Amino acid sequence: MAIITYRDALNQALREEMQRDDSVFLMGEEVGVYQGAYKVSRGLLDEFGPNRVVDTPITELGFAGVGVGAAMVGLRPVIEFMTWNFALLAVDQLVNSAAKMRYMSNGQVGVPAVFRGPGGAALQLAAQHSQAFESWYAHVPGLKVVMPATPADAKGLLKSAIRDDDPVVFIEGEMLYNLKGEVPEGEHIVPIGQADIKREGADVTLVCHSKSVSVTLKAAEQLAADGVNAEVVDLRTIRPLDRESVLSSVAKTHRCVVVEEGWPFAGIGAQVVDTIQREAFDELDAPILRVTGADVPMPYNKQLERAAKADPAKVVAAVNQVLYRE
Amino acid sequence: MATKVVMEALSPTMEEGRLVEWKKQEGEPVTVGDVLAEVETDKAVMELVARAGGTLLKHIVEAGATVPVSEPVAVIGEPGEDGSGAAGQREGGAERQRAGKPQTQPARSQATQPAPDRDQPTSMPPAPPAQAVIETSDATRPSPGPAKTATPPGAGSRVRASPLAKRMAAERGVDLSALAGSGPEGRIIARDLAGVAEASSTGVTPAPLPRRPTAPLTPYTDVPLTQIRKTIARRLAQSIGPIPTFYLTSEVDMERLWDSREALTAGQRGSTEAGQQVKISFNDIIIKAVGMALRQHPACNAWWQEDHIRYWNEVHVSMAVAVEEGLITPVIRHADQKGLREIAAETRDLAGRARERRLKPEEYTGGTFSVSNLGMLDIDEFTAVINPPEAGILAVGRIVRKPVAEQEQVALRRRMRITMSCDHRVIDGATGAQFLQTLKGMLENPLALVW
């Protein structure tokens, strides 16, 4: 199996889907001539031409709206946001148009669009450009929210997202684009709504997604050296949430820590905790803890930024707490 | 400010308490820690202790009354204060309880009071005196509760335990209030239950295993595996193979059984119907005894089912029969309920047809326990291989006369060695040993077989 980057895995998925289905097109800022701010669309303009790889002005609300409209009349747009920080301007199209159309048309009109781009913090991009918005979109009925953590999942999930008949918010990891991993060539599909056990263990369940998966796996390694065998559950899809995988892991370990990059209040972890305490109350031997980003705008200062992010040490500390270790 | 004293849940399962005796009378001064009354819970007689001072203004219920948990029982206030306001807030339930109970549950006389040592009431688990809950609106009153760090497990009525620990305790019949928690603020967590024997420490004996039911039987009862059972299963299977087997051997004195059987067969010979009689073998008697002993020890009458254990409410004894190609185990169904003659006729028939290979599948499947006898081949003792999913098999050796100590003398007695192979995932050492003890008792005292 080829070892390629997360970036190239996304590129493969786009290329294969555009070859397979000519109703698929890519639109966004700098996706064509510049080949994408993060080079995800490299080579696509040459292969598919300017009708299917469309450079737009800096008008997020405008081209998101064009995407919703195109999807309503039968195309399958992939709308790239340079980052999800900039997509704030387009939230109205996502929430009020894309998410609602099937419901408000009594099922007559769907919006088979993918809105994709990097989310979360990179390094020293400061408060306005270092934000994780998955809980915003996951809050909205009618949207699916997908967040791959590995190159293989990135490819398989983007293909599923493009083929999905409803709008999918596809949040990539800005710090993940250079991550390398084995990716199956050709038809590789990861269904939406399925979590993945990235590491098996019996002592504690660590639920995470996207970039926090690598943070969590590092913590799990440190814990293993200390005799604690952690199970790492990568949600992969935030909504619909794979409750089954989370619950069966917690039923095995009886302890859980939820790790995420975003802010704590009303975060994804809160939703996961809610599910566990309702469905698996009698399995719990300790309160579920969450490791999140700090509840502040992301500091620009390097040390403060580091302190504000979820890291392996914080995960290890939380695990020790739910295991009642000193 | 008048405050109500309410009946508190003094044991985890308590729903109501009987107020045995008032220790403070109306008008008496009360200080923090005073015993207000003695209360009989579902487990023991415990003390209701005041945590706030004042004057006991009023008994809302009389001695002898049974009061649901959290119903008011008394009012404490300042001397001369009218307690009727607070007392009037009581709910109707207490009133009804008081009116309905006095005749049938009078207060104990002095002679039958519990031991005078109030700190250690008789037959009570090691719990501190219960504390009365004081409901008060006086916000300035200092909190009378003990410091959190000093709270021993089981103090008051609230047992802090994780949901998992509570579930495990319920499954094992363990009283959490008797355990010390190692979690924050004394929280009992799963590891605190590790190694706690089932139904420990309280004298209460819940039945984790089905007993002989009186209602119409379902054929079996499936019991989900507890955590400890899962761990035992995994670890022992790892150690010894798919079925972690252990062996228990016991030597049975067969003198009485020998004589009884001699008498029985002699009677048969004299009978006019002798031709129709079937000779009763020792094996038939052993099968009958095993069946009856299993009835008393359902823990050994079970199937291992990977994710649960099936405890059979019916007793079907498999009997190993050597045939030309190997062996087969025809089943004596309901062996515990059948008479010896019935069993004898059946074993003859089944063994005969087994050798002719004419058994139907349903005749050699569905056993709940096996018996294998090599005594007739002069084997003193042996270990038999378990016939899964059954959890036990009894290997029967020959009856041999040997010298044994008897009342300071050596006597020759007929003895027989029996060895039980147990699937440790289902049967623990003590469980198997108890079964074997019962079986030995039956064989040594054949009258037990007609109970």
Query: A284 contacts in B (CB within 8 Å)?
Result: 162-164
Which domains are delineated in chain A?
2-183 (3.40.50.970), 196-322 (3.40.50.920)
ipTM of the complex: 0.73
The residue of chain B nearest to residue A281, with distances taken between CA atoms, is: B163
Residues in chain B: 451
Burial class (CB in 10 A: 0-12, 13-18, 19+), A1: exposed
b/e map A118-153, b = 16+ CB within 10 Å = bbbbeeebeeeebbbbbbbbbebebbbbbbbbbbbb
Q: Average model confidence (pLDDT) for chain B?
A: 77
pLDDT in tens, B174-195: 888 888 888 888 888 888 887 6
Cβ distance B163 to A324 less than 8 Å, yes or no, reads: no
B106 pLDDT tier (thresholds 50, 70, 90): very low
Q: Where are the domains of chain B?
A: 3-141, 158-208, 222-271+278-450
B160, B168, B187, B189, best to mutate vs chain A, most A CBs in 10 Å:
B189
Instruction: Measure the CA–CA gap between B68 and A174, rounded to whole angstroms.
Output: 62
Q: What is the mean pLDDT of residues B129-149?
A: 39
Task: Tell me how close the Cα of B83 comes to any Cα of chain A, in angstroms.
Answer: 43
Picking from B285, B248, B273, B281, the residue whose alpha carbon sits closest to that of residue B393 is: B248
CATH number, domain B222-271+278-450:
3.30.559.10
pLDDT in tens, B16-60: 888 888 999 988 888 888 889 988 876 677 888 886 788 898 899
Contacts of A109 (CB under 8 A, 6+ apart): A72, A101, A102
pLDDT in tens, B388-406: 899 999 999 999 999 999 8
pLDDT in tens, B59-89: 998 888 888 888 889 988 887 776 555 554 4
CA B109 remoteness from chain centre: 34
Q: According to the model, what pLDDT value does residue B109 have?
A: 40
pLDDT in tens, A132-161: 999 999 999 999 999 999 999 999 999 999
Cβ distance B182 to A324 less than 8 Å, yes or no, reads: yes
User: B158-208 is classed in which CATH architecture?
Assistant: Irregular (4.10)
pLDDT in tens, A220-279: 999 999 999 999 999 999 999 999 999 999 999 999 999 999 999 999 999 999 999 999
Q: According to the model, what pLDDT value does residue B80 have?
A: 72
Please spell the DSSP secondary structure of A10-39, one letter per residue.
HHHHHHHHHHH-TTEEEEETTSSTT--TTS
Does residue B79 sit at the A interface (CB-CB below 8 Å)?
no
Task: Tell me how close the Cα of B183 comes to any Cα of chain A, in angstroms.
Answer: 6
Strand partners, A259: A291
Q: According to the model, what pLDDT value does residue B134 have?
A: 40
The residue of chain A nearest to residue B166, with distances taken between CA atoms, is: A282
Which is more confidently placed, B116 or B302? B302
Picking from A97, A164, A101, A171, the residue whose alpha carbon sits closest to that of residue A136 is: A171
CATH number, domain B3-141:
2.40.50.100
Phi, psi of A138 (to 5 degrees): -65, -20
The residue of chain B nearest to residue A322, with distances taken between CA atoms, is: B183
Nearest to B189 among A281, A282, A286 (CB): A286
pTM above 0.90, yes or no: no
pLDDT in tens, A87-127: 999 999 999 999 999 999 999 999 999 999 999 999 999 99
A285, A289, A324, best to mutate vs chain B, most B CBs in 10 Å:
A285
Picking from B22, B33, B5, B51, the residue whose alpha carbon sits closest to that of residue B119 is: B33
pLDDT in tens, A8-29: 999 999 999 999 999 999 999 9
Phi, psi of A50 (to 5 degrees): -70, -15
